[in-house]
Structure 1
């Protein structure tokens, strides 16, 4: 989901959070579980499916060390299923950003949630993990404590209210940190500011670091990525990342491709790479490539990207091989930064949505891209709504391609940002926190009986 910045450091809270440099100590187990420990994981969209798959793998690793057998139920996507989760519903393609943009997904969301609820009523979980996916998972924050009052709930990658701050409109609080704090027994934060904010609100918080640190350990560097993709060392290459949501094909892709068309006119030898977030977008993207006359190669992950590692991911290879990325705002911005590739970020929503957010809800967002959020400073250029024009994207792109000082300043910002993300071992720390809570809950139940 989109991430944005709080109005001040005070809004992020001032709690002291210990850096996640080591695994939390395991709670002791006196015997193997008589049955599999049943965990339910709820997430959605492409990024949630990725984060969920990394967590599923870590849970299995850490459970094996404890002699535990897990039954992993999930709302997610192909990656989570390939990692070993049993899907109760597929949600990787159910997601949007904005008010009117969300309307087509209301009924599909309610339908898959009903499916999950019916299954869990028959087979109750031992613990619930919510990952990102703010709207649906906030609804679960209301439902699960009532339906399963003794089942611990963990929120991993909580709603970005720590970024937005306590914004109110017409006497109504726009976001629900209070609900998250009340519903959960643990919040696993991936940003230091997130941890501080929710701890200041009374949450039981552990800062584990950002999971992409784990994933990117295996990613190819520029030379190996170019070799894998057959790109000559001297080929000027720009990667375009227009959409992981349906609405972004409508609002972002035309602007981005128009900018690419102008860049192609100015840089005759440029070639564009366009990785597909979802294979169902291929036809619309290929039609747009023809319409704008772009010299571009579309890259689709084999088997719908269900089993890719960072080393074999075509998306990450395309990013690593590129001289520049022109990209939508989202998790991919951090992947680009961790691969040390300069980037230009854009985002647009429906103009009516933007007007309501600005004029009615008085919603202000100084930053949207994760690299700028980590230390709350403008590392990468962002162009939002009316500022997201082909001309602005072209100007910013040429500056990064042709001005070595601008490029080096961004790369230096990446280095500082990386240090603030924590240390490798994030997913294992998150898994340990979750399993510790399962064991503690099981022990408490046995003592009561």
Structure 2
């Protein structure tokens, strides 16, 4: 069968690539065409556009880039009709993918959504559009199944692919020597995101707090989809960059500063105490605050349903606030124990279900049922 996949950022690229490999195991004739990244291409996808070209962070930034996105939408729609896949598989990235879902459905192409858009956080009324244009929804957060049930929409909870990936990770024993790090100093992992726009908002503040922490080494998780020279602006004696080694970095870290997103969940699953940080433009933040319907921004707190990790958001994300919070997760035994107890509850909720394999089996099953 022919599969058309669309992911709009790095974590989506990662999860879509794992899904593609599992689909190949279930369907030996599988062909893939995709909008995504290097990992999807390496998994056998014919890449139309890289997600870097479409990565936009924030409500205001999306609004001001509307003409650019419109052009990509038209190109994608045209390409879909030319390729005529058996199914289009959408990975998160709601602003773009919901429009593609509507178009695909109108043109007789089956629509799967792998990793639900976060409509439970804002604009919950969009669930009615989901019911109209998405043939099957595959969700990865435990509370999402219950959310959709409230709207009489049956979805498949497949477990969490991040939990699976962390559980399967083998800790590298040569991490320090491979990256020329000091084995005698503990590591503070710095995860500023994967998009240049969010890194610019976050990283300067994250590494501006060095003086009280000179006994530690700050190791920044860099990503290869950005120019390596860009990171040189932040590198100094106590700050080093490692590229595309986030899991190994977390496996060796004593604490972490993490931009809100999937990385907060990854950090928790590695049992690393963390401070969650987030900042966007003033306009985007004002819009977001008006429409977002959930009390937290980190996946850790959202899944737990309570504050497990401290969130420093927008005006609260300052060096003055960051220093005492980082000291807590490094040295305050009560704070560390509280976070790790929350992490244990989180792991129990998520389980280890081989989500990509489970999703692939269900997808092939549904497609075969529809054909017959």
TM class, shorter-chain normalised?
over 0.9
Matches within 5 A, 1:388-403: 388-403=317-332
The answer to whether the 8 Å contact 1:160/1:194 transfers is no
Structure-2 separation of matches of 1:214 and 1:353: 33
Determine the structure 2 residue equivalent to 1:266: 212
TM-score (normalizing by structure 1): 0.78
Matches within 5 A, 1:296-307: 296-301=239-244
Determine the structure 1 residue equivalent to 2:141: 191
Determine the structure 1 residue equivalent to 2:78: 118
Give the drift of 1:227. 6.1
Give the drift of 1:54. 1.1
Determine the structure 2 residue equivalent to 1:311: none
Determine the structure 1 residue equivalent to 2:10: 46
Secondary structure, counterpart of 2:77 in structure 1:
helix
1:276 to 215, 218, 222: 222
Give the drift of 1:229. 4.3
Matches within 5 A, 1:40-189: 40-63=4-27, 68-103=28-63, 105-148=65-108, 151-164=109-122, 166=124, 176-189=126-139
2:367 to 431, 438, 448: 438
Any unmatched runs of 5+ in structure 1? 1-36, 167-174, 302-313, 444-449
The answer to whether the 8 Å contact 1:93/1:245 transfers is no
Any unmatched runs of 5+ in structure 2? none
TM-score (normalizing by structure 2): 0.93
Give the drift of 1:103. 4.2
Residues 1:89 and 1:407: Cα distance change in structure 2 (over 3 Å): same
Give the drift of 1:95. 2.1
Structure-1 separation of matches of 2:181 and 2:238: 14
Structure-1 separation of matches of 2:233 and 2:181: 24
Structure-2 separation of matches of 1:132 and 1:355: 23
Structure-1 separation of matches of 2:176 and 2:334: 24
Structure-1 separation of matches of 2:227 and 2:60: 21
Residues matched between the structures, number: 372
1:378 to 283, 297, 307: 307
The answer to whether the 8 Å contact 2:278/2:313 transfers is yes
Which fold has the larger relative contact order, with Cα–Cα distance below 8 Å and residues 6 or more apart in sequence? 1
Structure-1 separation of matches of 2:123 and 2:64: 28
Secondary structure, counterpart of 1:280 in structure 2:
coil
Give the drift of 1:240. 1.0
Structure-1 separation of matches of 2:240 and 2:90: 36
The answer to whether the 8 Å contact 1:181/1:202 transfers is no
Larger Rg: 1
Structure-2 separation of matches of 1:132 and 1:365: 18
Structure-2 separation of matches of 1:284 and 1:123: 37
Structure-1 separation of matches of 2:322 and 2:226: 26
Give the drift of 1:217. 2.8
